[in-house]
Chains A and B, each alone.
Chain A
């Protein structure tokens, strides 16, 4: 499709969409030259320009190198809005509110685990409900309990025996977004989430056991407790049906609100409300509640990951050393303080398929990482590798402390299924030393490696541009897919 958006290269990693027409600011895209043709294939650049037309946008409309088409806002998009006069949009967060990633490290090395990987993956698959319709029969929450989860986030899980207090210090925002208002979450959304806490869901969500394949920065890796050949675990999931329903509910609210407040929309999916308006405040309260559900979800899954390791290796928690390195959200809107044109200001920052990447010394960087910068976790596809990076000062000044979030699809699910036809993806992966279990064959086939862009290229752009720093590369050994 012809792309009417003008694109100008600034340097090796930066591209600009000049401010034109209804745009209130410019667009700034991080990408390599090689990525541009693929990016031009969908209409994501037009979406970067569309976001730039929204009222109260502060700084450029940003896009990370994993940019691709999304509803209204592109995936990989970052946009900050002035609290006075700016807007908040569910499309700037996405359906899966607080979809995110957490990384656990262990005291074990690869050879100790390889022999047992099949048992471990099978047990993880049994302990963590995944796939279409995954729910917990053992844990169906009443409204009152659900409200506690929505208010307290990961803290609720820890209080109820799922993990330790130390975990909370290693989660973005300590596993709880302030200002959650469960009362703003519809009964439909509550019903959808009631028995989904502690479930993986479907699509690109996974739990992965892997190991440290390569270290890029010894000092940083040591500070993050990572060493070569070390066994790791990654959890990637979000707020499940509860979050999806909150998004759906508030898109309807925002379609009306945009008209009510006279916000001109170049695309209906950008529907939004002023942050100060009741509709804006209600969405923020509901979104924070859904985000907290997601933090609690990942915390509980972590508990079952730990239990599964303990059972397979017959080791206690101390010997296993399954500690949380960090947990990041990559679909979220947050109130953050940033320096804009030399002045400190509070903004409503939308990160949709983008990860916070705060530098060393930042007050919101957790105590453990004050010297290194906040860990950034970038999952790849199940056949290749994932990356650990840290946040940087240039990220803070240039992208409101944000960087990429993943690989992004290269093929549609339909194409992927076609490409997988007549092959056994499970066997192919097994030959590469990766054990995969999934609820259905289709989900595994849809997620085959070739269906994704190479995450390495994405990470290299962020590293090269200085909006994150590479620390380590992880390779999967076993994966459970939703």
Chain B
């Protein structure tokens, strides 16, 4: 009895720092955001207490930002998976352990420079003297990449690939190689083994990586700011403008609440339908 109480208070003590952290930095700000979202813009900008649903009724004014984000964030995530999976497979299965760590470090290497610098570099690569210039040189003229959705996709895949490779790599590396032998013994060809054994068992890694990348892309504003140039506009950009330029905090709060809500629904549907129940648990474990 005393032992149980003792261990319970120990658990409480261990959880307290995280609990306090979450309360002050997550629950409280979330509550403030919800309260603000029913308020009015003060005459000079900012927040003025009120109770109105106008901010929510005004949400369709930002529908383009929502559709841009909801279209490009999943698409960029998908492209990142398609590119990251073969890389992770190569690293986990085909690379000798001597080279593996070096190559993994090289995958992460772009993170060592500032994100802003990397996007500035992409502005040059995608600008008219970069790739479109080379294309014009071989006769494919008049291509614009910078400030188009394609630039966002390229930048998204580039920027988030290093986050996608490691989780997939881990799930492939843990894979019991005897299962592959068993599959071959039972007469499955390599492709069938991959589709029926390797792929399903590595899905938790894919799930973890995609969630990580998807969540970050949904809230991103630097990527569309730099490579979209005000033409391809995300919810993140709408929020920056509402809080900093228009200083319409209540409407900004309503857009934030809508974003949190959409993320919640999307993640729920993803867990529920894309992944089986077992995979869900493993996705969390990875």
Do A and B originate from a single complex? no
